Structure 1
């Protein structure tokens, strides 16, 4: 019997995918629920697992575009069992034939006598020793001594001539050879094409503007350090700073609903819920999974949702539904060391918050210069729907909530 390997549906808007990678080779034995291949669409990357045990027959190669529902391979479930065949018997080693008693071993021939040239007859012992040590060709040395005898000066002149002859070659070897310039051309993946198209669309179709502020992370860091162990023991996840910012954004979005709204044609669509997208860098490109109804979730539930999404991205299990219906986005460039950046709107949303690296800086508090862990934050917004006053006040509200986490009632 045979089990077909089909490209599954990942959403109504997706009609085709690229077979990005086979984890197995044609003819390999596979087991049920074992990952077989990865497909890539313009929105998600997804692993496909084996539905049965058997021998894999690959029908579509890596890199090919396939339609949803297409058969890319077969698992032969009626293949031979795992019993290994006995290895073929090795041929007997043949012993070398014994020497014939009738043919006696050949006796070694005596070494031929070394002929001493006539030139060597006129060499002094000291000159002969130098020539032997330096392995010089006597026939190429011109003697200038009495009767054409070779002197030590003749040897020095000969060695200098050898050096001069090798200089042009050495200079040529030291000169690096000009290698032809090389380029590598690779087609853009569907996800990269989609990212490029959406970023370009965002720049062209929104009146994007960015406002900046900075946040003193001292109190948030103190609370995180104080409750880190108890939080981990109680909820099974680590307490990170992203949940602080999600909570702060939820509070600010309640006060400024324009940042949680879309423009559709000539209408403004307001949302009475907060579906917060969290930008996560993946191997194949940036993805923004959505934490739904973040206004109803605790700190632990927010952190667990982030952990679950990171695992799904790493294991190529992210679904199209995980990326849909976001109303506001948070991007954390600080995990890569970014000190300040301008995030681009995730259309059709009207706001995106950019977090950055926490860095100790001198600040003035109560007329005193002190060192505090500071973070620059940036908030890009669509000026068509959000005025500058609302945007600046919105970001200031986030700053107040993060600097005073008690105001957002953290559960520990």
Structure 2
């Protein structure tokens, strides 16, 4: 019995997707829930799995094709017996082909981008599964060839490379990268974006973290106490005091949101993604830290769902993890503001007439001046500063 394999149902914000990789070929036996194909959208890579044991009967859309939501992409015969993947030759005779290996979708994609043959990589996952980390950590052997004897390889003449020879590599831009580029250009051309800056003394928060991090980790099942949880909670409190910063523009209307859905920017190899903490104001600091860590891990493996990256009323981005001392974050439309965190650096500061070395962080708030006045933007950022410099205010909501 033939079963139709269709593209997933895309949300309204995603128009279509591209067939990235077919993991199975026509006539090949497939087990239930085994990956059939990866579909890349503007936001995430979606995995389509086999509905049951059977055989892939026909591929309707090849790799690189554009497909719409719920569009037919293949036919599948449930219960049929097809040809297994080509049998691997004995290890002593030849290396296994990539079709015989257990390779995660993320690992296969990374290997293709780096031009690495997965058959030469040893899998560290369960049952010999090759993970993305295996690909990233793989180092090619120093010898020019595995099959050539060393004595024969040694006298090989060196290849003359013309002086000044410059190599170029052209690769197509991924859908995610293209969408990020479009949104950044849209933000700069359709909003009256302005940025205000301030600096915050991180010493109180660092002392709080140092004092309670071990107890916090024990009390919350291994969740570590970081700075993002406190910044998210501080942002939620500040957004309640300045509703315009939490609002959005829809045509000629202003939409004021009675909730705080905080987007947290996460950098991946394919581009920037912004998963959303729904009702962040209702979350505990431990819950925020746990979700942010989970977002980071799944974003690197391409496991985030589209629904997790839609919506959001305010965004926080932390360039400090990469060493950025100061930057101007770009808005994430239709949101009207974004908070930028940066590197913590010891600086001499004047305190009560004396010079004191303090761990300082620059904060940046980019905002849409069409909706948010400069006075509100500055006061919002000062509120964040006050809450961070005196963390007890976050708990007391003062």
**TM bin (shorter chain):** 0.7 to 0.9
Contact conserved, 1:2 with 1:78, CA < 8 A, in 2? no
Q: Is residue 284 of structure 2 the alignment partner of residue 298 of structure 1?
A: yes
Query: Aligned in 2, Cα 1:341/1:54: closer, same or farther, shift over 3 Å?
Result: same
Query: Aligned in 2, Cα 1:181/1:175: closer, same or farther, shift over 3 Å?
Result: closer
SS of corresponding position for 2:329: coil
**CA RMSD after TM alignment:** 3.0
Corresponding position of 1:203: 188
Report how many residues are paired.
325
Show the 5 A alignment for 1:8-157: 8-24=8-24, 29-56=29-56, 59=59, 60-80=61-81
Corresponding position of 1:255: 241
Shift of residue 174 of structure 1?
Answer: 12
Instruction: State the alpha-carbon separation in 2 of the partners of residues 300 and 58 from structure 1.
Output: 48
Runs of 5+ unmatched residues, structure 1: 88-172
Q: Is residue 299 of structure 2 the alignment partner of residue 307 of structure 1?
A: no
Instruction: State the alpha-carbon separation in 2 of the partners of residues 61 and 273 from structure 1.
Output: 43
Instruction: State the alpha-carbon separation in 2 of the partners of residues 343 and 52 from structure 1.
Output: 46
Show the 5 A alignment for 1:216-295: 216-236=201-221, 237-295=223-281
SS of corresponding position for 1:342: coil
Encode CA deviations 1:34-75: one digit per residue, 9 max, x unaligned: 333321112322222332234445724332222332343455
Instruction: State the alpha-carbon separation in 2 of the partners of residues 292 and 84 from structure 1.
Output: 43
Instruction: State the alpha-carbon separation in 1 of the partners of residues 86 and 294 from structure 2.
Output: 44
Contact conserved, 1:216 with 1:373, CA < 8 A, in 2? yes
Encode CA deviations 1:115-156: one digit per residue, 9 max, x unaligned: xxxxxxxxxxxxxxxxxxxxxxxxxxxxxxxxxxxxxxxxxx
Shift of residue 276 of structure 1?
Answer: 0.9
Corresponding position of 2:103: none
Of 197, 213, 220 in structure 2, the residue corresponding to residue 212 of structure 1 is: 197
Query: Aligned in 2, Cα 1:84/1:223: closer, same or farther, shift over 3 Å?
Result: closer
Shift of residue 4 of structure 1?
Answer: 4.1
Instruction: State the alpha-carbon separation in 1 of the partners of residues 356 and 57 from structure 2.
Output: 67
Instruction: State the alpha-carbon separation in 1 of the partners of residues 26 and 344 from structure 2.
Output: 50
SS of corresponding position for 1:21: strand
Shift of residue 24 of structure 1?
Answer: 4.8
Query: Aligned in 2, Cα 1:193/1:85: closer, same or farther, shift over 3 Å?
Result: closer
Instruction: State the alpha-carbon separation in 1 of the partners of residues 170 and 40 from structure 2.
Output: 20
Instruction: State the alpha-carbon separation in 2 of the partners of residues 82 and 225 from structure 1.
Output: 59
SS of corresponding position for 1:409: helix
Corresponding position of 2:390: 404
Encode CA deviations 1:349-386: one digit per residue, 9 max, x unaligned: 11100011112222222222222221111111111221
Contact conserved, 1:279 with 1:287, CA < 8 A, in 2? yes
Corresponding position of 2:310: 324
SS of corresponding position for 2:225: coil
Runs of 5+ unmatched residues, structure 2: 89-157
Shift of residue 22 of structure 1?
Answer: 3.4
Corresponding position of 1:170: none
SS of corresponding position for 1:309: helix
Query: Aligned in 2, Cα 1:378/1:6: closer, same or farther, shift over 3 Å?
Result: same
Query: Aligned in 2, Cα 1:388/1:30: closer, same or farther, shift over 3 Å?
Result: same
Encode CA deviations 1:308-328: one digit per residue, 9 max, x unaligned: 323432343322222222111
Corresponding position of 1:358: 344
Instruction: State the alpha-carbon separation in 1 of the partners of residues 161 and 20 from structure 2.
Output: 40
Q: Is residue 144 of structure 2 the alignment partner of residue 183 of structure 1?
A: no
